[in-house]
């Protein structure tokens, strides 16, 4: 027996669960605001050195004649320098800059002077945000298991709003960066805890749909972020606008229940029973107290037995086959996260309108999730993930051979790469869950998530390579996705397979074994029968002696 037996009586996705689930999907939009807001908050506009005769509010645009006189030309990239100026035929570094405000308005890059030799701080600020996301998944994940899902959700939400407002009024770069790091950590607390609460009250057959739909709400927030950026041209007001909707979720305290599953793990059976009966009443279902007591008692025992068999992540590397599979899975997590966030933050480097590119990058996630829903149980987890990673890698690598006058084709290939890597990202989570044995499953997923965060931390630095060569970021992302797809072909398929429970079963899962054919001769069979007969007589004699001793 398990808690899922309680859910089956309650209704796998009844009216009560649908209401709470919908409420828990909405904070995903807020988390998307914060995770993708950096694309515009820390957008790097075009800039050039300020001429001695210009005022601070001079136009960025100059005719070619003036440009050729005052600015050295970079022949490799075929553009005039943004960091140097010619004065009396001598090349000098810029003392001040004129920025192009037409595309992004007034960004934090302009205010904090993140230009030329300081431009690397843009990538550092974005990377530290993802460090916060990684730390938050660890801190708030542990907190939700210790003190409860609901209280952790609200602690994260309050800190997110406060830190977000601090970022909006930050007087200098490092206050802004630290505040955004804290915001990144709390997005993990808000999103992941809401995700867990939602899935813990849904029946097994509905979890794939529930887990996918909440991601679609994140994609909706992704696209809405561009609308905020388009209509709010000052980064401080934009950060404020992205944060303040979080205040509306404070009212959830009176609507969102604690997870009944978590209450059972803490032996708070009476509270869990009360929540279940309230849900049953809302769903027009009657569950007798006696039946509920029996099911909850069985669920508690099951949880205790499972927790007693927990293993350490180090145990993964003690078994050669499991070690090989795990290293491939960890690289897949890394490659998926690097490519996903790299492409999400790379829209400013693509040709065309950056706001439209950003919206398209978010919009392609909707069909990506639909692919998961319709094909995951038909093609298989490994097959779908490998196919998507290979298509993503090939699409991104093809951008290397597209002529410069076909920028629309580069954008199209980049969007195909984004669509397929999003599907792959969803598949790798399920594949990982089913590859690791039960006793190490949580540890394995935690390790995979950690490798994923390393990918997202590196993504801003990979995008900074655009200053070295325009197509270089897409080359890196495509190569990682292609390698991950090829490596994953050696992983076993998990669709409709009995999942491993123990470490030994995990080692044998997907392992190719050779069948040994033994030829037995007549003499061998006679010798074997003689040994078995002697053994049986000895056992019978021993049993008789034992019986005599017990009688006496």
Instruction: Return the percent helix, strand and coil in the chain, to nearest 5.
Output: 75, 5, 20
The alpha carbons of the chain give a radius of gyration, in whole angstroms, of 30
In whole angstroms, give the CA distance from residue 508 to residue 511.
Answer: 5
Co-location of 111 and 15 in the same domain: yes
Provide mean pLDDT across the span 413-441: 89
pLDDT at 521: 46
Residue 516 has pLDDT above 60, yes or no: no
pLDDT at 10: 86
Co-location of 90 and 32 in the same domain: no
Co-location of 93 and 118 in the same domain: no
- Could you read off the pLDDT of 6-64 as tens digits, one per residue? 888 888 899 999 999 999 999 999 999 999 999 999 999 999 999 988 998 899 999 99
- Could you read off the pLDDT of 209-218 as tens digits, one per residue? 888 899 999 9
CATH of the domain at 480: 1.20.1250.20
Cα separation of the two ends of the chain: 47
Most confident listed range (314-328, 493-507, 522-536): 314-328
Does 533 reside within a domain? yes
Does 220 reside within a domain? yes
Residue 435 has pLDDT above 90, yes or no: no
Provide mean pLDDT across the span 339-350: 94
Co-location of 479 and 550 in the same domain: no
Co-location of 392 and 285 in the same domain: no
Cα distances (angstroms) measured from residue 83 to each of 66, 75, 99, 118: 16, 15, 12, 11
Cα distances (angstroms) measured from residue 416 to each of 154, 379, 395: 37, 20, 7
Does 73 reside within a domain? yes
Our count of domains for the chain comes to 4
Co-location of 524 and 492 in the same domain: no
% the chain with pLDDT above 70: 89
Residues 6 or more apart whose Cβ sits within 8 Å of residue 111: 235
Co-location of 251 and 268 in the same domain: yes
Cβ–Cβ < 8 Å for 350, 414: yes
Does 122 reside within a domain? yes
Residue 544 has pLDDT above 50, yes or no: no
Mean pLDDT of the chain: 87
Does 233 reside within a domain? yes
Residue 539 has pLDDT above 60, yes or no: no
Q: How many CB atoms lie within 10 A of CB 273?
A: 20
Co-location of 344 and 461 in the same domain: yes
pLDDT at 399: 94
Does 318 reside within a domain? no
Q: Give the domain range for residue 75.
A: 47-100
In whole angstroms, give the CA distance from residue 411 to residue 65.
Answer: 32
Provide mean pLDDT across the span 421-445: 84
Residue 541 has pLDDT above 60, yes or no: no
Co-location of 251 and 400 in the same domain: no
Co-location of 263 and 368 in the same domain: no
Nearest to 483 by CA among 365, 296, 337, 328: 328
Does 411 reside within a domain? yes
What band does 528 get if pLDDT is binned at 50, 70 and 90?
very low
Across 238-252, b (16+ Cβ under 10 Å) vs e yields bbbbbbeebeebeeb
Residue 182 has pLDDT above 80, yes or no: yes
Provide mean pLDDT across the span 144-163: 94
Does 320 reside within a domain? no
Co-location of 162 and 260 in the same domain: yes
- Could you read off the pLDDT of 228-274 as tens digits, one per residue? 999 999 999 999 999 999 999 999 999 999 988 888 878 888 898 89
Last residue of a domain, one of 67, 100, 133: 100
Residue 334 has pLDDT above 80, yes or no: yes
In whole angstroms, give the CA distance from residue 84 to residue 166.
Answer: 35
In whole angstroms, give the CA distance from residue 506 to residue 510.
Answer: 8
Residue 306 has pLDDT above 60, yes or no: no
Co-location of 271 and 230 in the same domain: yes
Provide mean pLDDT across the span 327-342: 96
Last residue of a domain, one of 273, 308, 343: 308
pLDDT at 2: 61
Q: Half-sphere exposure (CA, 13 Å, Cβ side) for 218?
A: 23
Would you give the DSSP letter of residue 102? Answer: T
Distance of CA 41 to the CA centre of its chain: 22
Instruction: Return the higher-pLDDT residue of 548 and 44.
Output: 44
What band does 282 get if pLDDT is binned at 50, 70 and 90?
very high
pLDDT at 482: 97
pLDDT at 197: 87
Phi, psi of 196 (to 5 degrees): -65, -45
């Amino acid at each position: 027996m398990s808690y899922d037996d309680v859910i089956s009586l309650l209704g796998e996705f009844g009216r009560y669960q649908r209401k709470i689930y919908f409420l828990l999907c909405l904070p995903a939009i807020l988390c998307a605001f914060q995770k993708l807001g950096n694309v515009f908050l820390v957008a790097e506009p075009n800039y050039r050195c300020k001429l001695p005769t210009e005022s601070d509010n001079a136009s960025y645009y100059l005719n070619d004649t003036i440009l050729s006189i005052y600015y050295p030309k970079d022949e490799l990239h075929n553009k005039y320098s943004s960091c140097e100026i010619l004065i009396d035929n001598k090349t000098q570094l810029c003392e001040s800059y004129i920025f192009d405000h037409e595309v992004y308005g007034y960004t934090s890059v302009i205010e904090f002077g993140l230009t030329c030799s300081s431009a690397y701080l843009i990538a550092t600020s974005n990377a530290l945000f993802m460090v916060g996301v990684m730390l938050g998944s660890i801190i708030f994940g542990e907190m939700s298991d210790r003190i409860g899902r609901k209280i952790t959700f609200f602690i994260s939400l309050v800190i997110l709003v406060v830190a977000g407002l601090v970022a909006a009024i930050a007087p200098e770069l490092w206050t802004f960066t630290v505040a955004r790091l804290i915001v990144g950590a709390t997005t993990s607390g808000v999103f992941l805890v809401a995700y867990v609460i939602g899935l813990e009250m849904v029946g097994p057959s509905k979890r794939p749909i529930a887990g996918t739909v909440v991601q679609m709400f994140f994609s909706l927030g992704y696209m809405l972020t561009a609308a905020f950026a388009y209509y709010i041209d000052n980064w401080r007001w934009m950060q404020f606008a992205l944060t303040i909707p979080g205040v509306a979720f404070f009212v959830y305290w009176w609507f969102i229940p604690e997870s009944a599953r978590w209450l059972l793990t803490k032996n708070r059976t009476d509270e869990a029973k009360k929540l279940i009966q309230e849900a049953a009443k809302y769903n027009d279902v009657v569950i007798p107290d006696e039946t509920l007591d029996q099911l909850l008692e069985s669920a508690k025992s099951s949880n205790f037995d499972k927790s007693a068999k927990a293993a350490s992540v180090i145990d993964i590397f003690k078994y050669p086959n499991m070690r090989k599979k795990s290293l491939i899975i960890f690289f897949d997590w890394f490659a998926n996260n690097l490519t996903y966030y790299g492409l999400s933050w790379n829209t400013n480097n693509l040709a065309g309108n950056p706001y439209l590119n950003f919206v398209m990058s978010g919009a392609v996630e909707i069909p990506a999730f639909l692919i998961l829903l319709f094909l995951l149980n038909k093609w298989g987890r490994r097959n779908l993930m490998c196919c998507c990673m290979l298509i993503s890698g090939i699409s991104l690598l093809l951008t290397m051979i597209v002529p410069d006058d076909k920028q629309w084709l580069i954008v199209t290939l980049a969007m195909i790469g984004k669509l397929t890597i999003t599907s792959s990202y969803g598949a790798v989570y399920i594949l990982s869950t089913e590859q690791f044995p039960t006793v190490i499953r949580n540890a394995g997923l935690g390790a995979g998530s950690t490798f994923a965060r390393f990918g997202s931390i590196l993504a801003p630095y990979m995008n900074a390579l655009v200053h070295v060569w325009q197509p270089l970021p897409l080359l890196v992302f495509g190569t990682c996705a292609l390698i991950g797809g090829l490596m994953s072909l050696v992983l076993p398929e998990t669709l409709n397979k009995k999942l491993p429970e123990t470490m030994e079963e995990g080692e044998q899962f997907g392992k190719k074994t050779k069948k040994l054919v033994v030829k037995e001769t007549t003499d061998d069979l006679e010798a074997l029968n003689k040994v078995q007969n002697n053994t049986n007589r000895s056992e019978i004699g021993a049993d008789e002696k034992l019986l005599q001793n017990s009688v006496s």
